Amino acid sequence: MTYKNGEEEAVKIPLVTPYKMGKFQLSQRVVLAPLTRQRSYGNVPQQHAVLYYSQRTTKGGLLISEATGVSDTAQGLPETPGIWTKEQVEAWKPIVDAVHAKGGIFFCQIWHVGRVSNSGFQPNGQAPISCTDKGLTNLEQAGGTDITSFTPPRKLTTKEIPLIVDDFRTAARNAIDAGFDGVEIHGAHGYLIDQFMKDGVNDRTDEYGGSLENRCRFALEVVEAVVNEIGADKVGIRLSPFADYMQSGDSNPKALGLYMAESLNKYNILYCHMVEPRMKTLGEKDDCPDSLVPMRKAFNGTFVSAGGYDMEDGNNAVAENRTNLVAYGRLFLANPDLPKRFELNAPLNKYNRETFYTSDPVVGYTDYPFLESAV
């Protein structure tokens, strides 16, 4: 697909056309995907995040924050931010203010890792919590850390589950108090909510296990609690029904994705953010005949797609009405002015995987060049 920007043959580029998402008037369809960067020392957002997020802000652009822990049991990676303490809420405020100063719309992704952790990240060295007591086999931790073993989790009792739901509710309230425009519930990538939903992990025999409806109960209770706390017009959710990240696969991902898309309509949430079926493993595209189109058709709100998109693929998805918005991760990480580059069909900076998950406050974080200074 070729786009010309000359006066005689101007062609609208789908990704940079405006879109109304609920009460938010977006200037374009390119979304900053939630990206773990591991630069929030002691789980507290830092001043260098002000520059990082503001660099990637355009007037009317939608940004989703990196995954942000809902409690002290939610941690599984070093130096990831939280939003359960007053200190964390206060630390987020200047970051949110910087995005708003440039006219951006900013959602906080709220997160619990579940069993993707070990006791070193947990309060008092306790076992991580999950829907199961089945542990992960040793594999390299997401985020490229040197932690290659996971502590077997403790299965939550039925009575404890409402307490975790309440952690998400409180985190959502804290996000609004920090100034965020809304929250995205992290229900993807093998973390706690996904662990409950996937039959490859969930082996419960109570009302939170067994049938598809039971396995999705926890996710929908979180959605309901968050909606009741801050309003449906400020709530999105991210799902990856087809993915097998962190050994969290499902035997019928199509049914899972469709059930969730349909069930979410009851709560009238703002958007559903789904990861493409081709992204079955972390960071790698696979050949896959499956599609998100049935879920996109079933869901009544704004639909956001993510997973392996380039400019042409994203333009096609919007033009063919397969999605409303496209979330970009690695490309946006390396190109702080990505929407402008798409508009001009300009060359892109190459990303450097080796600096994705370091603690350096500059290198691989805020030092990627803008178009006017790119070589």
Residues assigned a catalytic role: 191
pTM above 0.85, yes or no: yes
Cα 64 versus chain centre, distance: 7
Distance (Å, whole) CA 60 – CA 25: 6
CA dist 74 and 82 (Å) reads: 9
User: In this structure, what are the phi and psi dihedrals at residue 179, rounded to the nearest 5 degrees?
Assistant: 105, -5
User: What is the per-residue pLDDT for 3?
Assistant: 40
CA distance 225 to 7: 51
Between CA 182 and CA 232 the distance in angstroms is 9
At residue 62, the 3 state secondary structure works out as strand
Tokens of 223: 């959605």
Question: Are 224 and 230 a contacting pair, CB within 8 Å?
Answer: no
Alpha-carbon gap, residue 247 to 201, rounded angstroms: 8
Identify the H or E element spanning 219. helix 217-230
Cα 226 vs. chain centroid, distance in angstroms? 16
How many angstroms separate the first and last alpha carbons of the chain?
25
Report pLDDT digits (tens) over 70-125: 999 999 999 999 999 999 999 999 999 999 999 999 999 999 999 999 999 999 99
Give me the pLDDT at residue 278, please.
84
Tens digit of each residue's pLDDT (9 = 90 or more) over 280-294: 555 555 556 668 999
